[in-house]
Every structure is written in structure tokens, then in C-alpha cells.
Amino acid sequence: MQPLQGKHFLIFVGDGYEDLELWYPKYRMIEAGAGVTVAGHEGGAKYTGKNGYPCVSDAAIELMESADFNGVIVPGGWMPDKLRRDDKVKELVHEFAGAGKLVAAICHGGWIPISAGVYPGIRVTGSPGIKDDLINAGAVWEDAPVVVDGHFVSSRKPDDLPQFCEGILQAMGVATAGAA
């Protein structure tokens, strides 16, 4: 069964991304039938994860249009702290949120929706290291493996990846057994 057939997701990449937080959701969405585009500052560039795993981007962020996707998935690591300074990244996330499309962030990935200004009043979780940042951005903090608030999905760490992906499926309207 491919419940996400015809859906397409954008995943951001940059040096210092959390390896598992990019690859696990990417393959889980593909397994569910979705298309995935991994975009970095440069298309076709090789980025190295925190643990050394390489990822070659499919496209350049500056060429991405939110209308071409059903949502965005933001891995953590050190990458989000750099990418959140990119106006195009913030614009894309703001557009996804405004259109009611999926905005999913795990661990330090929450920094990007914070900088895009889309978290006020939204229930979220994330790495305890950015808890204060999330609260200061107006989000409602919950300490849980996954928090689904409408089209927003968030998780804390790599150990939460199964629940994170279940939360994404739930937010996309796919019945699941484990998301909160």
C-alpha cells in the first residue's frame, strides 16, 4: 500500500545535518509512495552529516517553490542554525505553514520554523537544547516523542524517528496506530 502516492516532500540539507533525521524520513516517505526532493544551497552538491554520512542534494533551495510540494521535513543537527539565516528557506517554510501544508521538524530542526515565524500558539517538541527558543518564539512546549498539531509535526531526537514518521503520516491523513 502506498498511501502517499502522488505526494511530494521537500527536505533541507546542509553540512552538519543529523544523518538519521534526514535519511530515515526520506526513505519512510518514499516507502509510503511519496516523492522526495532534498535541497541544499547548491544542487548536486555533497553535504556531510554530523556522523560523516554524505548526502548529494537533488536541487538548490533558491529554485524550490512551495506550490510544488505537499510539505517540508526539517532534519536537525547543526545545519538548521545555518539554514535558518537563508531568506528563501524562511519564505518556503512560511508559505508551507500558511497554506496548511506539512511542516515537520525534528531535534534542532525546529530552529527553522522559529526563524520563519510560524510557531506562535503551535504545540511542539524538539531537542531540550532549543526548548527556550521554542517557548520564546510563542510555541507551546510539550515533552513527548512526537507532537502533532494540525499540519505541524515535531519530535525531539533520533530515537523518536519512528513516532516522527508516524506523526507525518497522521498529519497527511493516513491512519496510523502510534502517533500522538
Which of 8, 94, 108, 151 is flagged as catalytic? 108
CB contact set of 52 (below 8 Å; sequence gap of 6+): 19
Assigned C-alpha cell, 89: 528557506
CA trace torsion 9, 144, 94, 28 (10° rounding): 0
**Catalytic residue list contains 8:** no
Closest by Cα among 155, 168, 161 to 128: 155
Report how far apart, in Å, the C-alpha atoms of 101 and of each of 33, 108, 131, 133, 153 are: 18, 20, 24, 23, 11
- Scan for cell 517540508, then name that residue: 72
- The count of other CB atoms within 10 Å of the CB of residue 116 is 23
Distance, CA of 56 to CA of 83 (rounded, Å) = 16
Distance, CA of 66 to CA of 52 (rounded, Å) = 29
Residues recognised as catalytic: 108
